[in-house]
Amino acid sequence: MNGLPLLRAATVTAALLAAVLVPLSAYLRHAEMAPAAQQQATRPVVNAARSVHRLVASTLALVALALNIGAWLGRGPPRGPAAVLLATAGGLAVLGVVAGGSRSPPVVLAHLAGGMLTAAAALWLALACNTSRRAPSPRRPLTAAAFGTAGTVVLGGLAATVEWSPMVAVHGAFGAGVASVILTAAVGGLVVDRPSAGEWRALALLAAVCLTGWWNARVGTTTVAATTHNAAVMLMVLEITRWLHDKRRRSAG
């Protein structure tokens, strides 16, 4: 599997497309929630972003379909992650057609969580087909951080759509708990031995998530602030996906 250049290029392409798709979706989602005057001023940019979003989403769906065909023919990536990528990419496409520009909490949450899952599945495939190094041993708290981050994404989507002010506080408190888990793992690395490159990246991304979250709350959820925060959270999700992939490789080999 690692010796097929076309397969490796396809999985990397899928990962890059998914990483572009999530911030674009966040930008469009929040741009449509902006005041009417702001929507009018940014209409040309939003229309261009929507066209790029459709192109990226369509290309990703085609790449995901090709990877699944290859997987079922025994010449492609692992079937499980490939199926998840196709299901999420296809599901988001159907949701976009059926729900249109709906701002209801279930639709917004499905777009947010589905986008993060799509990006994670695409990265897993890219790692599975392009990684030959020996996987490092992830620290246990980092596995717990994966579930915590997933919960934080869901709460963030609810906080952005549900008109219930305590939800914002719940989202912040839950995010602080996840941050403490990641900090514990990183500080443990400093005390016990040298932190890995992944732990340094996790600390940097954690700082980015916290700072953009604070900025988002401070300025009142503007399009730029919300998009930046979503992008930072996506990068954290991708880093945790890499941890889980490394853990899976060590347990399998």
Same domain, 109 and 230: no
Residue-wise pLDDT tens digits, 172-229: 555 665 666 666 655 555 555 565 666 667 667 777 777 777 677 676 667 787 788 7
Q: Please state the separation of Cα 74 from the chain's center in Å.
A: 28
Same domain, 85 and 152: no
Same domain, 6 and 59: yes
CB 231 within 8 A of CB 22: yes
* Structural domains counted in the chain: 2
Residue-wise pLDDT tens digits, 117-131: 899 899 999 988 876
Same domain, 168 and 155: yes
Residues above pLDDT 70, as percent of the chain: 66
Boundary-marking domain end, from 132, 149, 174 = 132
Same domain, 152 and 194: yes
pTM: 0.77
Same domain, 126 and 145: no
**Structural domain boundaries enclosing 30:** 1-132
Same domain, 183 and 253: yes
Residue-wise pLDDT tens digits, 64-79: 999 999 888 877 788 8
Same domain, 92 and 151: no
Same domain, 142 and 234: yes
Mean pLDDT score, 29-57? 84
Same domain, 90 and 178: no
Model pLDDT, residue 1: 44
Boundary-marking domain end, from 104, 132, 160 = 132
Same domain, 82 and 150: no
